[in-house]
Chain A
């Protein structure tokens, strides 16, 4: 009974939120089952404001709202550069890829990112590009899914005392349920609702340290000069407000690029362009997505540094050793049930919106881009099998979360950033070339995809940590540049593999 009295508001909000998500999934169940175009891309009939919010909520996850927000506790206010870098790539994605991707995928009847490679480059070799890209998605995404499920489970455990594995299972299978029911319709509409919650919560989180201390000047006075220590025990002094003091700009740039560049290459982001209903909506989303993402990220990225104004030196010394605990600690310290309930809903929204987006990408990659390519199936089997594939993958992810609980693996955040680097280097050249270069070839796309993976692995394994001065050069930088160069070079060398002229006229809207 005490438990209910203690947590009634958070429980009420959580049930309302989960019930709302499940209702949206159920509402679209019949509509989504009408055909592949409905289930995979919501028949390209979604308004711009929904897609805009969905792009934002997919891009930011619990890794952002807990992990990245906590990082500035260690690195200071200049960590907000991360938010600026991400927003630059969000703008590049919408300006450079958005309108063309929507137009070309509609003309080619493309429903997934791997099948875009196949349909655009149109050859037997392009079939293998489709298969390879689907396998990259499967491998790179499982760590991301496990990371988000872990993040949400930690929130449930610390706020509502839900046992860790039960929390992870609840998050995974509730998200899986509404995604399976409503396909892309429910993913986009729940993402949009979650985006609104996340935007509000980002601003609320930023306000808490100021409210706790009693004003802007009071808070800045306490963090401008602090006795709190760094991870190695050195006093921070004025480090929280001094550029380059607690973290080098190269380090910020490396992490910022590896995660930020996901927005120009990761299928869960690019698939958003497929579903927009018309050019007017595209214009709306191009303007407003950077607003939602940029303002939220800058609010969240500087949050940890401000928490120094709320905690004692002893508490700071404890938190600096595990910055993932900073946001939860701040909410506990603020100690307001209403605020905690709303913020927990925001953290769930951040986790579940990203989770739903990758679950549907996994289902479509497994069934349409691997199974259907290797063993073609009747059209009416695609949707039921996609649903089963999504459920199976959620079970596998839960198995991984369980295994990680028994045998912890330190580098899961690093693995997620590495997966982002692989997407950026392997997918972007083939997509960019497909959208803009008539002379791009299948051989160029395949060569750049393989190069992107190889350079990422080789740079990380053999160069980055073996030579002084290269430690802070993240593998995404050489891998991206080299794979883009390889695409251009190999396409030039294999110019005769260019698709037929009538196909190119269809691709570029001249037919």
Chain B
């Protein structure tokens, strides 16, 4: 499996972690 085919499978975890970091920083 090449890099760009595999990307969404691990990219989703990075995206979720990044989103959680953004939410934690906000004062809702």
Contacts and interface: CB of A to CB of B under 8 A. Distances in A.
Given A99-B28, A241-B1, A279-B28, A286 B23 contact: yes
B12 A295 contact: yes
Interface string B1-20: 11111111101100110011
Interface residues of A, number: 30
B23 A83 contact: no
Given A95-B19, A279-B28, A290-B19, A87 B5 contact: no
Interface residues on B, range: 20 to 34
Contact of A294 (B16, B22, B23): B16
Given A84-B8, A286-B28, 4 more contacts: A95-B22, A224-B1, A287-B24, A290-B19
Interface in A250-289: 279, 282-283, 286-287
A430 interface: no
A468 B4 CA distance: 26
B16 to A, nearest CB: 5
Interface of B: 1-9, 11-12, 15-16, 19-20, 22-24, 26, 28
Interface string A278-321: 01001100110011001100100110000000000000000000
15 contacts: A78-B8, A84-B15, A87-B15, A220-B1, A241-B2, A242-B5, A243-B5, A279-B28, A286-B23, A287-B24, A290-B19, A294-B15, A295-B16, A298-B12, A301-B8
A431 B28 CA distance: 19
Contacts, number: 66
A84 B18 CA distance: 13
Interface string A53-85: 000000000000000000000001110110110
Q: Majority SS of interface residues in chain B?
A: helix
A371 to B, nearest CB: 36
A283 B12 contact: no
A81 B8 contact: yes
A91 interface: yes
B8 A298 contact: yes
Contacts of B6: 77
Contact of A78 (B4, B12, B20, B24): B4
Interface in A224-252: 224, 241-244
Nearest to A76: B5
A91 B20 CA distance: 10
A88 B22 CA distance: 13
Contact of B2 (A81, A243, A283, A295): A243
Interface of A: 76-78, 80-81, 83-84, 87-88, 91, 95, 99, 220, 224, 241-244, 279, 282-283, 286-287, 290-291, 294-295, 298, 301-302
Nearest to B22: A95
A124 to B, nearest CB: 35
A288 B1 CA distance: 29
Nearest to B27: A279
A224 B6 CA distance: 13
Contact of A243 (B4, B12, B23, B24): B4
For the complex of A and B, list the 9 residue pairs with the smallest distance between their C-beta atoms, beginning with the closest. Answer: A243-B4, A80-B8, A84-B8, A241-B1, A243-B5, A78-B5, A294-B12, A286-B23, A279-B28
B20 to A, nearest CB: 5
A101 B15 CA distance: 23
A223 B26 CA distance: 44
Contacts of A81: 7-8
B9 A287 contact: no
Contacts of A286: 19, 23, 28
